[in-house]
Amino acid sequence: MQGAGKCSRLQISMRPNQTRGEGARLGAHTLERFAALKEIASCAQTQIDAPSAKQHPGLAVTAQDHPVDCRLRAAHCCRSLVAIQRIFQLMTVLRTLPQALLLTFLVAPAAIAETVQITLKNGDIINGELVEEESSETVKVVIHPQLGRLEVSQDAIKPKEKPPAWKSSISAGVNATDKDGNGTFSANINGASRYNGETDTLKILGSLNYTRNNDKDKPAEIKTEKGMGSIRYERKLSDSFRLYAQSEYDYNGLNKAGINTLTNSLGAAFPVVDSESLKLTLSVGPSLRWSDGGKGCDIDKYCGNTYGGGSFITDISWTPNPSFRFSINNNFSAISADDVKPTNKFTAAIKFFPSFTSGLFTSLQFVSIYDSMNSPEQNNTVTGQVGVEF
């Protein structure tokens, strides 16, 4: 019959006709376990195999006869099964996703090539991806974006210049305003010097910050009078372990108690990251803290005394390209007095070098000091400067 033929076009298969992956077989086996799904399949098969309605002589089977009902019920079953099949396909994808991600992470490091810059003795510069498998001590093989594969003899490469052991910088900023007899003057200066040896490192820092207001018909008022100095020495014992000694002095002439603060620490330093562009060093060790000075020092129970504690120092320097340089230093100490007293000094700076060869730079620096043993406890400083590195 024509109507039965239309209904029989719907085929329901509970098993795949061809070999599939393990995820697909698991989905098919899971499908067989659900009795409700079997019932749906049985319903659809019953509708397919059911005999068509009798055709009266002289009458043609129209679209309004039973085959339409059969098609509707079979289509309903088909839609249900299609939805269920989509669910199992999604389950298969989710099962294989962790393996795919793991494979990606394992393959990705090998797929990333090292980009190098080679300077030749004639002054030419080659930027490309180094092929380490084909390179040796006598020849470097690189893939150039435009020239393709290049073999560069070691004799043609300019030897890298050894950086100087000492490197220093100095920067300063001045601001002065005057309006109707009311003026403001501020000045700040920073200096830094660093020595890098094969096993020894020495770092010296110093800064001054001064601000004064000259209001009309009023005596001059000092708004900022700060200074600091620090020295740090490191001794390299291995690539992942160093010993350090650090002394840091802070001065704030406007403090009521604790104008002068000295913190000394000694311990172990761990260079977590040590590359040309990024350096991260963590230091931990015992510390001693002393503070003195100020109008209220005589009545302050911490001023004029020395306390022991521990320090945790984080130092980060990042050079994403030769024009920018970022640095962050955080020195946290827990001082043992009548109870644990926290102190923290956070310093962040950014330097911009408009020229790679002149050494001139502009800088912006933020310093935040919290000391629960001084009065006041919190003070912040933001300075902008122009300097030179040599």
Listing from the earlier edge strand, what are the strands of the sheet with 139-144? 114-119, 125-130, 139-144, 148-153
Contacts of 188 (CB under 8 A, 6+ apart): 172, 173, 207, 208, 209, 210, 383, 385
* SS3 state of residue 20: coil
Q: What is the pLDDT of residue 231?
A: 97
Q: Regarding the domain delimited by 166-389, which CATH topology (the fold level of the hierarchy) does it fall under?
A: Porin (2.40.160)
d(CA 236, CA 198): 8
Provide φ and ψ at 135, rounded to 5°: -90, 155
pLDDT at 376: 86
Can you give the residue ranges of every domain in the chain?
2-55+62-108, 114-156, 166-389
| Residue written as token pair 């977590």 | 272
Q: What is the reported pTM?
A: 0.61
| Alpha-helical segments (H) within 151-301 | none
pLDDT in tens, the chain (390 residues): 444 443 333 333 333 444 444 444 444 444 444 444 455 445 545 544 444 444 444 444 444 444 544 444 444 455 555 555 555 555 554 455 555 554 544 444 444 456 778 888 888 888 888 888 888 888 889 898 888 888 988 888 888 777 789 999 999 999 888 877 788 899 999 999 999 998 999 999 999 999 998 887 788 888 889 999 999 999 999 999 999 999 999 999 999 999 999 999 999 999 999 988 899 999 999 999 999 999 999 999 899 999 999 999 999 999 988 889 999 999 999 999 888 999 999 999 999 999 877 899 999 999 999 999 988 889 899 999 999 999
Listed residue (244, 366, 259, 258) closest to 311, CA to CA: 244
- Other Cβ atoms within 10 Å of 140 Cβ, number: 22
The full length of the chain comes to 390
- State the Cα–Cα distance between residues 22 and 225, nearest whole angstrom: 74
Q: What is the token pair recorded at 140?
A: 């470097």
Provide the pLDDT for residue 7. Answer: 39
